[in-house]
Amino acid sequence: MRRMLPPQLGQREPSMSKKPSEKSRPRSAMRPSLGGDVGGGLEGPVNTVDVINWNTYHLFDHRAKLEEAKTWLSEQGPDLLALQEVLHCDEAGLRELALAWGHGHAVMHKEHGYPVALTSSAPIEVVERRVKGFHHGYLHARTHGIDVFVVHFWPTKVGEAVQVAEIAGAVAADGHPVLVIGDFNGKIRRDEPYLLDHRFGEEKEGEVVCDYRLTDAFLERGFVELVSEHSPDDLYTFGAPALIPRWAKTMDEVRERRRRIDFLFASPELAASCQSAHVDTDDERVGQYSDHYPVLCTLKSLGANDSAPTNV
């Protein structure tokens, strides 16, 4: 299997995505993109873009729950799907999987270790696949008129988050809608009462505190966390029954680990267009497929004058 070499910072790559037939797309995937038609044959007025982020727990428990997860994703019909821990799969294989939920465009930032990935109902322009200098790395791509950064940070490497926040902030400052989504492996200030009540803080100099630096990097640069704004009572994205039996023995142990570590950060204008955002914590379904729960949002059109990416 040919390994992809990561481009240098800011270097663009051609997309390796392809377009499905209209028959293979669910109705929701046939909606126009946020910034208008990007060469996918989509017509009509711009409406909304449905987004899902999901850490797949080694591609849904090493493929054991893959079919069930594919069915759920097909039912949701997202326009844009960001994934982490896409193991046991190369980019060609991901493109085949993505057809199940109506996406003919799919890219990964690497094909070894713990890849992140993006699939879409519209063409994808890859801006950067970053591996060097990062624990897992990140993907920066454009689709549906949005610059999307798919991340999977290491808990103690705050510099990774700061670097991505600086790059994403610069893109947003140039007037582009930006989403930074993924597994941040960190805490957010909005959840502090919950975190302290559930003993997720650390004692320092006689005071219990939490480390928010991984998410502060984005909040300090004007990004808005969408679930915090729209569903403040959704307080965990990690801690699903799929942890049993390898990582936990009982549901009580699972519940003790529950907290938010997966986030959807949007640039201010894009955040203002958000109609809804929430975490799906259905333990009868998605909680069986991964130890993380999917995080969803719906973004409203920013207007017909917004420019769309060119698929190269």
- The predicted model gives 242-262 an average pLDDT of 97
Query: Which stretch, 1-5, 24-28, 113-117, has highest mean pLDDT?
Result: 113-117
Residue 143 · residue 120 · CB < 8 Å: yes
The answer, yes or no, to whether residue 279 has pLDDT greater than 90, is yes
Query: In the chain, pLDDT over 70 holds for what percent of residues?
Result: 81
pLDDT at residue 43 in the model: 36
Q: Above 50 in pLDDT, residue 96?
A: yes
The tokens of 302 are what?
Answer: 């920013």
Cis peptide bond upstream of 245, omega within 30 = yes
- Residue 53: predicted pLDDT: 98
pLDDT at 303: 53
User: With contact defined as beta carbons under 8 Å apart, do 40 and 120 qualify?
Assistant: no
Measured between alpha carbons, how far is 148 from 229 in angstroms, rounded to an integer? 20
Lowest average pLDDT, out of 28-42, 127-141, 202-216, goes to 28-42
pLDDT at residue 172 in the model: 98
pLDDT value, residue 310:
38
The span from the CA of 136 to the CA of 219, in Å, is: 22
Cα separation, 161 vs 287, whole angstroms = 27
> Which of 98-107, 159-168, 229-238, 302-311 is predicted with the least confidence, judged by mean pLDDT?
302-311
What the chain holds in terms of domains, given with CATH numbers, is 22-300 (3.60.10.10)
Q: What pLDDT, in 10s, does the model give residues 13-54?
A: 433 443 333 333 333 433 444 443 333 333 334 489 999 999
Per-residue pLDDT reduced to its tens digit, 59-92: 999 999 999 999 999 999 999 999 999 999 999 9
Is 307 a residue whose pLDDT tops 50? no
Q: What is the mean pLDDT of the chain?
A: 86
**pTM of the shown model:** 0.83
pLDDT tens profile 161-195: 999 999 999 999 999 999 999 999 999 999 999 99
